[in-house]
């Protein structure tokens, strides 16, 4: 059989293009702020991870320009060989200090970071235990490792304990969990996870891609929100969200970081982070340190969004209501309604992101909205009015929480 046959048989995108409901790859023609120009029209941006709004911060942009002028456009080699700049080391030092760890290591993307950490640490006789709603990069990393992967239902601590009990005592155990879940906007039950990890001799890794800059005092992350920063063994974060750049990092004890530095294939065999990218991440981190009130403002706006959507009788995912994070998912239930609602909202003047199976369970498709420090209450209210009208017109409001499977 021709290996390309699967490509010829893959017709789902064309089917949705034919209906006019295909929701992906819209083109942005301006800076990514609270309002953007997309395909010639002004849209309220409710689909970005630019939580602190720093992609348009003048001092952050200036740092990238100066780095390109000083170092050139790229490093042309791996960090192991000719690609390590003093700028990389400076960034890693300040990241480690920010999250309270001994050392840190940067990668070219967040996806690479998870691939590098997990494939390096999880060996043939080790077990990695994951929340089912962990990011896809974590599952790819587990498949790349030589260890065994076990999953537990989302934030189900009884099932996590059952999984831990099933692992022989002599096997290494790593619990990997998103700090702030990108789909549901809720946090991991980190206190219970830490307690179980200590009880069963496991280590804990928190992927705080969405929590960094958002949760905890001064935006230090999910572990700091719970006061458990000393108990988390491995901290993973990214630059493509709150830190306005591209890349990722791992922070941990020096022996762990040195081991990853020399054994993680996605790090050893990849070209180094470009100078401008590293400089922008460093400038954004310093801006956050200098403005620790930014996450508080973000929480206020997130709370305002919850009240705005709740007042308009929209079904908010229940788990997202426990704490005001900048991720607010609205149930649309079916794939067809999700894509149709996304299209109508887009045409009305707001951009949101659809999530459908297999990213969600069947019957629990949703539209994810997300918020930035640079939003205003007036913009949020304007977008909420647009979305509420679409939901009313389509009669998809107030069907209740989908039954768990």
Asked whether residue 192 falls in the same domain as residue 216, the answer is yes
- pLDDT confidence of 314, banded at 50, 70, 90? confident
Whole domain around residue 387: which residue ranges?
A: 5-55+293-394
CATH number at residue 26: 3.90.1150.10
Same domain, 79 and 198: yes
**Does residue 405 fall inside a structural domain?**
no
Domain-embedded: residue 400: no
Contacts of 280 (CB under 8 A, 6+ apart): 60, 61, 63, 64, 67, 239, 243, 244, 245
Tokens coding 234: 């491995």
User: What confidence tier does 397 reach under pLDDT thresholds 50, 70, 90?
Assistant: low
- pLDDT band for 400, please (50, 70, 90 cuts): low
Q: Find the CATH number of the domain harbouring 221.
A: 3.40.640.10
Q: How many domains does the chain have?
A: 2
CB 235 within 8 A of CB 257: no
**Residue matched to tokens 């789909």:** 183
- Quick check: helix, strand or coil at residue 2? coil
| 312 and 281 assigned to the same domain | no
Of the pLDDT bands very low, low, confident and very high (cuts 50, 70, 90), residue 129 is very high
**Same domain, residue pair 280 and 303:** no
pLDDT at 85 over 80: yes
- Of 290, 317, 351, the residue at which a domain comes to its end is 290
Which of 155-169, 301-315, 336-350 bottoms out in mean pLDDT, i.e. has the lowest?
301-315
From 396, 370, 394, select the one nearest 46 (Cα to Cα): 370
Spacing of C-alpha 209 from chain mean position: 4
User: What pLDDT score was predicted for residue 315?
Assistant: 80
Task: Give 24-37 pLDDT, tens digit per residue.
Answer: 999 999 999 999 99
Final residue belonging to a domain, choices 242, 275, 290: 290
404 in any annotated domain: no
Quick: pLDDT tens for 185-236. 999 999 999 999 999 999 999 999 999 999 999 999 999 999 999 999 999 9
Q: Mean pLDDT throughout 309-331? A: 88
Written as six digits, the tokens of 322 are 């426990």
Query: pLDDT tier at 320 (50, 70, 90 boundaries)?
Result: confident
402 found inside a domain: no
Do 306 and 276 lie in a common domain? no
236 neighbors 206 (Cβ within 8 angstroms): yes
Q: How far from the centroid of its chain's Cα atoms is residue 215's Cα? A: 13
Do 84 and 222 belong together in one domain? Answer: yes
Q: Is residue 318 part of a domain?
A: yes
Averaged confidence pLDDT in the chain: 95
pLDDT of residue 165: 98
> Does residue 401 fall inside a structural domain?
no
Note the Cα 104 to chain centre separation in Å.
19
Continuous H helices in 271-363: 275-290, 294-311, 335-348
How high is the pLDDT of residue 137?
97
The proportion of the chain whose per-residue pLDDT surpasses 70, expressed as a percent, equals 98
Q: Which of 39-53, 263-277, 321-335 has the lowest mean pLDDT?
A: 321-335
Entry pTM: 0.95
Pick the last residue of a domain from 233, 261, 290: 290
Closest alpha carbon to 327 in 309, 348, 349, 345: 309
Q: Are residues 96 and 225 in the same domain?
A: yes
Provide the 3-class DSSP secondary structure of residue 243.
coil
Given this model, what pLDDT does residue 404 score? 55
Residues 23 and 171 in one domain: no
d(CA 183, CA 318): 12
CB neighbourhood size of 361 (10 A): 14
Confidence at residue 403, expressed as pLDDT on a 0 to 100 scale: 61
Question: Is residue 403 one of the residues assigned to a domain?
Answer: no
| 134 shares a domain with 20 | no
Phi, psi at residue 138, to the nearest 5°?
A: -70, -40
- The answer to whether residues 259 and 385 belong to one domain is no
pLDDT at 276: 98
Q: Which of 279, 270, 278 is nearest to 77 (CA)?
A: 270
Residue 257 domain flag: yes
Distance CA 236, CA 214 (A): 14
Q: What is the dihedral of CA 213, 215, 217, 223, to 10 degrees?
A: -110
User: Stretch 86-96: mean pLDDT, rounded?
Assistant: 98
18 in the same domain as 128: no
Q: For residues 268 and 266, what is the distance between their CA atoms, to the nearest angstrom?
A: 6
pLDDT band at 391 (very low <50, low <70, confident <90, very high): very high
Total length of the chain: 405
pLDDT at 401: 65
pLDDT at 318: 78
Q: Do 189 and 228 fall into the same domain?
A: yes
């Amino acid at each position: 059989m021709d290996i390309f046959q699967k490509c010829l048989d893959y017709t789902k995108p064309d089917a949705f293009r034919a209906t006019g409901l295909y929701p992906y790859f819209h083109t942005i023609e301006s800076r990514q702020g609270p309002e953007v120009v997309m395909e010639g029209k002004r849209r309220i941006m409710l689909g970005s991870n630019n939580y602190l709004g720093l992609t348009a911060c003048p001092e952050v942009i200036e740092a990238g320009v100066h780095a390109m002028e000083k170092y050139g456009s790229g490093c042309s080699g791996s960090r192991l060989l000719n690609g390590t700049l003093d700028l990389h080391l400076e960034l890693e030092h300040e990241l480690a200090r920010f999250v309270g760890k001994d050392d840190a290591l940067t990668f070219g993307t967040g996806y690479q970071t998870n691939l590098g950490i997990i494939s390096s640490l999880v060996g043939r006789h080790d077990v990695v235990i994951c929340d089912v709603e962990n990011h896809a990069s974590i599952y790819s990393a587990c498949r790349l490792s030589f260890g065994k992967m076990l999953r537990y239902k989302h934030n189900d601590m009884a099932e996590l304990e059952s999984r831990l009990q099933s692992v022989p005592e002599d096997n290494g155990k790593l619990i990997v969990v998103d700090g702030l879940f990108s789909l549901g906007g809720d946090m991991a039950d980190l206190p219970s996870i830490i307690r179980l990890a200590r009880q069963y001799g496991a280590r804990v890794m928190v992927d705080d891609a969405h929590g960094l800059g958002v949760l905890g005092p001064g935006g230090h992350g999910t572990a700091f929100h719970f006061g458990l920063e000393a108990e988390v063994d491995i901290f993973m974060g990214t630059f493509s969200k709150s830190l306005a750049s591209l890349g990722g990092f791992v922070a941990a004890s020096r022996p762990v970081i040195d081991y990853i530095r020399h054994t993680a294939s996605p790090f050893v065999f990849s070209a180094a982070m470009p100078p401008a990218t590293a400089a922008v991440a460093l400038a954004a981190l310093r801006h956050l340190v200098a403005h620790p009130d930014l996450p508080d403002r973000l929480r206020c706006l997130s709370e305002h969004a919850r009240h705005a959507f709740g007042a308009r009788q929209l079904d908010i995912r229940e788990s997202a209501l426990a704490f005001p994070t900048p991720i607010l998912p609205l149930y649309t239930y079916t794939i067809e309604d999700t894509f149709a609602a996304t299209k109508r909202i887009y045409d009305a003047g707001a951009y949101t992101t659809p999530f459908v199976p297999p990213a969600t369970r069947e019957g629990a498709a949703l539209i994810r909205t997300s918020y930035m420090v640079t939003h205003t209450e007036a913009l949020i209210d304007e977008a909420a009015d647009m979305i509420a009208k679409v939901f009313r017109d389509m009669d998809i409001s107030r069907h209740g929480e989908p039954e768990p499977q």
